[in-house]
Structure 1
């Protein structure tokens, strides 16, 4: 056998091998099911309406054409459910809707198509395309655009036979879906506003590094489950670019959703970055997403997050307490668990159920002293004072002209205050003493439940510092120890307060824009507990009976509460040994 023959046979074998690989690597065919390709006998097509939306305030300067699909089953009287889609009419959703509505497998649903906006330049033919900015950016901006601008504009339309468009305002009646970045937009909106969008369809979702959606698997692991139902699709041949691996990213999403006990289904095939598989699955996805409607979608109760399991009862969520405290800055509890809310009009004492009982003077209520005989109050002129329990008698001045941003007292009676970019030690009979000049803008201070460590969180970063408390009041062994999460659109976690619990876990709770973040004894934010409607947290404390109720003041001026498994730390409560492991 000649060398040429050997080479030819080798090349033939190699070509056959490559051909086999090519066949195996080709995406499978995904023929759409019958309910996706044609309407059943007797099912009449609906009507499509298009209109321009060029006056957005959320995305100023953008131009786009909104599409609306109105099924024939819509009567013009009963508000319809809503399904928002990005980009264009895809997944043959109009035909699928008509068929499934006719069989009662989904409610009467009006489809709304929201293509990305574009902005004209002053020099032709330049355009700025907004697709990735609008779709791939986490946060509530896109949801706000849909809720406050798109849907109200849709309701101004009428069908050709005069039926007005009336849309349900219930989040349980709203679905949002899309493909690629449109899927990321759908998840962004539902994650930011789960009370407004309860059902999500995601095909070949861009949970990658296009912008910030790559963070969702981590956030899903850490965040208390939200009332969402989801259907996800991707494929082994999905995109793999400088921005990330779509296949791996969707797998990470599925793993995270399973970890957090979400109501979801998924199917992954061998397809490329194409809508074909999503289109084939769309009827099945709609049956799943709308099953049991109008029963509301429920949040998962069995998240595997150990911080959530060790701190909160999953079947009891936030209660909004009575009263309204606009502009309030701080909530604290006294030694019997009554709640004090500091407002611009003064300090209001409330019972454990949030009912206002009495006004307790001006200033800001900081804490009851370690000996329970007085409490600490700060005034607008920078005075830090100990006052009688009724707030009427000033017993001692600890500092003057000190613009306190945060304050905490140890069990030994040492008072630590953050002011003017410094940490101060305040002791009776002594001048205020600077104990650290490092943290620039402290938003929250807390002393851990064992009394050993001072946690100081910067307001305008995602950092928190840990200090070892010394018998002489000094601070030692400072480390940039804590790390928090932030909203994608923000430059910081927006810390406004902190508190600690007395348990073997050593957890510290931080009031942030994302809600309450719970940090473990090793400094990691391991749980995020949003407030209702995504309200930012302003202040928090433990109070009520046995100090096992968590109270949080929202930026909306409302007070929220929920029972906790562990009691809160305070200078007048005993210390508990922390048994955390290094990890």
Structure 2
């Protein structure tokens, strides 16, 4: 509850100081913890305490009061606002910003990428199309893209795309739309590029991660994931993170001088639902403070530098999110792909670009 974005709920809690204290724990202590979590998360709640044991005497007596409190101002929507500077979400979200619909009517949106001007590009691999949004207007950039999925702009200004349908990665000239093969005979899902133009990409089918230096052949740098999916660099481009969708982990690696991956470990522990240990982690992005933003089946999870989930933004619609990027002229708006749509939301963080690595601040609590 402390990590999730508050939902529009009003909560009434009641307990007695002499409630059960058994092998499973203390009801009284647990309800105090619950009340503390509601307070911290910013919910509208009340906690009425009595002296009864584990029975319905006190609860029955105050039930009319509870119902009146829960249904007060029925015509007025419930708004759980986070007080500025007082909660985790106020450090992430700009004011009362909500998800806004950007584009819809696609088959399956993926691969959001941002160019030097802050313009958004995204793919629809099932329709084999790439779209772009300039000055708020969405238009078709390219069709017949070989089921292009993951996208990212490189330091050369070209749009790199995982054309899995043609088993290659290409670089698009955004002025002409001409695609130049970069690496062929590969299965790829998502990719990341650094300031030198070096590429790392995931191959979920073979459970591998590959590396390509400009002008060189691909090189295997890791294998053994259940389902390697999203991939991202740290702000200073010294670490590589890889999401394993069929687990609750995002792995972190040091990058060697030859592009190889060293000292890998499951580092970011994602939150999952009770039905599965798989997070369905997909596309990821980083902000300038070194926080990792991960699309999952429970929402947009935000992890701090030590690897902890500190906040989870609600999904704009049911279903899993597939990818995320910071875009806009100031790189202060997150765009997510979700099903057949694209959404955006103003935030209090700024994103990164491959051509401008930065040194993040020291990790904190």
Q: TM-score, normalised by structure 1?
A: 0.58
How far did residue 533 of structure 1 move? 4.5
Secondary structure of the structure 2 residue equivalent to 1:428 = coil
Q: 1:375 to 1:540 in 2, by over 3 A?
A: same
How far did residue 582 of structure 1 move? 5.8
More helix as a share of residues: 1
Task: Give the aligned partner of residue 118 of structure 1.
Answer: none
Task: Give the aligned partner of residue 304 of structure 2.
Answer: 520
Task: Give the aligned partner of residue 564 of structure 1.
Answer: 347
Show the 5 A alignment for 1:412-423: 412-419=196-203, 420-423=206-209
Q: Is 1:509 equivalent to 2:290 in the alignment?
A: no
Show the 5 A alignment for 1:60-99: none
Q: Is 1:387 equivalent to 2:172 in the alignment?
A: yes
How far did residue 416 of structure 1 move? 0.4
- Out of 254, 274, 283, the position equivalent to 1:497 is 283
How far did residue 307 of structure 1 move? 4.4
Task: Give the aligned partner of residue 13 of structure 1.
Answer: none
On the 8 A contact 1:375/1:386 being kept in 2, the answer is: yes
Q: Is 1:274 equivalent to 2:60 in the alignment?
A: no
Q: 1:304 to 1:567 in 2, by over 3 A?
A: closer
Show the 5 A alignment for 1:168-567: 220-302=1-83, 307-343=88-124, 344-351=126-133, 355-361=137-143, 362=145, 363-364=148-149, 366-372=151-157, 374-379=158-163, 380-390=165-175, 392-395=177-180, 397-419=181-203, 420-502=206-288, 505-555=289-339, 557-567=340-350
On the 8 A contact 1:323/1:355 being kept in 2, the answer is: no
Residues 341-389 of structure 1: CA distance to partner in whole angstroms, max 9, x if unpaired? 21122333232676321231312351111122x1211211320122211
Q: 1:381 to 1:305 in 2, by over 3 A?
A: farther
How far did residue 231 of structure 1 move? 0.5
Secondary structure of the structure 2 residue equivalent to 1:257 = helix
On the 8 A contact 1:259/1:303 being kept in 2, the answer is: no
How far did residue 333 of structure 1 move? 2.1
How far did residue 431 of structure 1 move? 1.5
How far did residue 303 of structure 1 move? 7.6
Q: Could you say which structure has the larger radius of gyration?
A: 1
Q: Distance in 2 between matches of 1:312 and 1:318?
A: 11
On the 8 A contact 1:340/1:365 being kept in 2, the answer is: no
Q: Distance in 1 between matches of 2:264 and 2:198?
A: 18
On the 8 A contact 2:132/2:141 being kept in 1, the answer is: no
Secondary structure of the structure 2 residue equivalent to 1:221 = coil
How far did residue 455 of structure 1 move? 1.1
On the 8 A contact 1:338/1:349 being kept in 2, the answer is: no
Q: Distance in 1 between matches of 2:226 and 2:104?
A: 34
Q: Which has the higher contact order (CA 8 A, sep 6+)?
A: 2
How far did residue 538 of structure 1 move? 1.4
On the 8 A contact 1:225/1:303 being kept in 2, the answer is: no
Secondary structure of the structure 2 residue equivalent to 1:506 = coil
On the 8 A contact 1:506/1:580 being kept in 2, the answer is: no
How far did residue 498 of structure 1 move? 0.7
On the 8 A contact 1:257/1:264 being kept in 2, the answer is: yes
Larger displacement relative to structure 2 (301-310 or 221-230) = 301-310
Q: TM-score, normalised by structure 2?
A: 0.91
Q: Distance in 2 between matches of 1:538 and 1:457?
A: 12
Residues 498-546 of structure 1: CA distance to partner in whole angstroms, max 9, x if unpaired? 11112xx310100001110001011111110012354421111111122
On the 8 A contact 2:18/2:54 being kept in 1, the answer is: yes
On the 8 A contact 1:225/1:261 being kept in 2, the answer is: yes
Residues 134-165 of structure 1: CA distance to partner in whole angstroms, max 9, x if unpaired? xxxxxxxxxxxxxxxxxxxxxxxxxxxxxxxx
How far did residue 468 of structure 1 move? 1.5
More strand as a share of residues: 2
On the 8 A contact 2:268/2:303 being kept in 1, the answer is: yes
What's the Cα RMSD here? 2.0
Q: Distance in 1 between matches of 2:226 and 2:202?
A: 9
Task: Give the aligned partner of residue 116 of structure 1.
Answer: none
Question: Unpaired runs of 5+ in structure 2?
Answer: none
Task: Give the aligned partner of residue 578 of structure 1.
Answer: 360
Q: 1:369 to 1:497 in 2, by over 3 A?
A: same
Q: Distance in 2 between matches of 1:297 and 1:369?
A: 45
Secondary structure of the structure 1 residue equivalent to 2:287 = strand
